[in-house]
Structure formats: C-alpha cells, structure tokens
C-alpha cells in the first residue's frame, strides 16, 4: 500500500512540474508574438506568482518519492551486471536528480544555472524521462 501511495504522489508531483514546463515552453513563450513586451511581462509574472508557490515543492516531492521508488524497484545486480531495466532506471534517476538539484539550487538558494537558463532543456529532459518510464518495463 505504501508503494502505491508514493507512486501516485510521485506521478502527481511530476505532472505538476512537467505541466509547468509544458505551459511555459509551449504557451507563455509563444505569447511574446501576440503581446507587447510589457503585457507579456505582466502575464508571465502573474503566472509565475502562483507557480512559485506550488512547482518547487512538487519538484522536491517528485525527487524524494522518486528516490524511494528507485530503491524499491532497482533490485539486485546480477552476475551479468545491470539489466536493461536497471540501466534505463539509472539514466532516468540521474536525469531526475539533476533536474531536482538544479531546481532546488535555483529556487531556494538563488543559484542560476550557468548554461541552460531557459526551461527548454528541463522540458526536454522531462520528455526523455517520461519516454524512459514507458519503455523501461518492456526492455
């Protein structure tokens, strides 16, 4: 029962974080074409006012619940080495932990990322993580 609850919490928190990235990359950035700079800035700041209350917390919950799920699902390493499932799960975990670390450093400590300042790269990583989560049980 604990696993099911943690898994559902994980999916819901990832949905919140991924939904924010989806909205930011596919809608808010495209609004620049239709709105003046001042209007776009107001709309974005209004949106971010609510995002800052929810998304960082959901990212932390996603990382913590993800760590629990990794330990639960990883299993033992066989004599042949890592299985395909374990390799994909490790890649997925690395990307998720990187996103979590980046988010925590940025939001809670004010450390801005040096290279990837937009939300496009995290959005791409979330898409990759979703793709990995769908295929890792099949390989």
Q: Which long-range contacts (CB under 8 A, 24 or more apart) does 16-21 make?
A: 16/54, 16/55, 16/58, 17/55, 17/58, 17/59, 17/62, 17/99, 17/126, 18/123, 18/126, 18/130, 20/51, 20/55, 21/119, 21/122, 21/123, 21/126
Q: pLDDT, tens digit, for every residue of 115-131? A: 667 788 889 999 999 99
User: Does pLDDT of 102 surpass 70?
Assistant: yes
pTM exceeding the 0.75 threshold for the entire prediction: yes
């Amino acid at each position: 029962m604990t696993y099911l609850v943690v898994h559902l919490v994980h999916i819901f928190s990832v949905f919140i974080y991924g939904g924010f990235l989806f909205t930011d990359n596919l809608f808010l950035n495209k609004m620049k074409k239709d709105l003046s700079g001042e209007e776009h800035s107001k709309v974005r700041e209004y949106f971010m006012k609510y995002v800052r209350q929810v998304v960082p917390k959901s990212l932390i919950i996603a990382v913590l619940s993800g760590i629990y799920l990794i330990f639960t699902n990883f299993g033992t390493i066989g004599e042949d080495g890592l299985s395909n499932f374990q390799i994909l799960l490790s890649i997925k975990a690395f990307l998720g932990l990187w996103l979590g670390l980046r988010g925590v450093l940025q939001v809670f400590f004010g450390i801005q990322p040096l290279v990837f300042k937009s939300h496009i790269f995290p959005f791409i990583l979330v898409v990759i993580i979703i793709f990995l989560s769908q295929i890792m049980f099949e390989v």
